[in-house]
Amino acid sequence: MPMKPGSLVAPVEKGKIATDFGAATATYETASRLQRLMGTFMIGRLPPFEPHRVPLRILDLGCGTGYFTRQLAQRYPGAQVTAADLSSGMIEHARSISPEGIRWAVSDAEQLPFADGSFDVVFSNLMVQWCAHPDRVFAECRRVLGRGGVLQCSTLLEGSLRELAQAWAQADPGRRHVNTFDTAAAVAKQVHHQLPGAGLETQTIELDYASPLALGRELKHLGAVYKGPDRRSTLTAPGRVRAMCKHYPKRSCGSISASYEACWISYGK
């Protein structure tokens, strides 16, 4: 399998991604602090749209539990909202807790089952970083957007969770425990190739945690545990976990922070 641009490991199998996130349906929304922060920022950037464009056609790509699907439906009453995700478990859960009228689709973002120009808005929050070929996702987003349509997309960049990666590197040398993401340069190249004129904005976001174990629990509850092909097939030994916690940089009070390199992409067709 070819290497993902800007990464040091091969891309994750799609089945693994769907399974991990599907298993996190019951805990995802309570743990999704970063997801809500970044998605709320994008919601606020969406234009009001003129009345003559109603019914607005909206796609929430990588919808997860449907939190922002419901936000979009509420923000644009009467819109035709479609939510798509690779995980059938996520789609089933999202449908069960969402109002009627939303359309649901289990689909691969790299090959969407929608006609050209099907949507006026494509919204995609923290999904593209899990894709082996982000350029294909951006191309598909452009394809399914109609004339005058807009895309709001977010992703994570290289350097995210660097404190955790460094702690594990000292506790378990030679063994990767943290997902890697594309570099800012790689993402910019893909975006500018597939989405001419798109804007990119980056920011380092730091979230606080009581301990490294609390950070680990949040990642597990999100389904965002390490997904690389070299992951251990058995549970990590308690001694290695204790060593990781020892090496993780702490504040004087004992709490920690984790850094996320955020990237927002805006595009108008």
Instruction: Indicate the domain borders of the chain.
Output: 14-158+180-206+262-268
Res 50: pLDDT:
73
Domain 14-158+180-206+262-268 has CATH 3.40.605.10: no
The more confident residue out of 4 and 44 is 44
Q: Cβ distance 224 to 34 under 8 Å? A: no
Res 107: pLDDT:
96
* pLDDT tier, 53 (very low <50, low <70, confident <90, very high otherwise): low
The helix (run of H) or strand (run of E) holding residue 70 is helix 67-75
pLDDT digits (tens, 9 = 90+) for 151-185: 999 999 999 999 999 999 999 999 999 999 999 99
User: What mean pLDDT is predicted for residues 80-109?
Assistant: 97
Read off φ and ψ for residue 267, nearest 5 degrees. -145, 135
Q: What is the side-by-side strand order in the sheet with 199-209?
A: 103-106, 80-85, 57-61, 119-124, 145-156, 256-268, 199-209
The more confident residue out of 51 and 76 is 76
Neighbours of 66 (CB within 10 A): 26
User: What mean pLDDT is predicted for residues 33-59?
Assistant: 89
Distance CA 167, CA 247 (A): 5
Res 13: pLDDT:
74
pLDDT higher than threshold 90 for residue 239: yes
pLDDT higher than threshold 50 for residue 133: yes
Mean pLDDT (the chain) is 92
Q: Which amino acid type is present at position 13?
A: E
Q: Are strands 256-268 and 199-209 parallel, antiparallel or unpaired?
A: antiparallel
Distance CA 239, CA 246 (A): 11
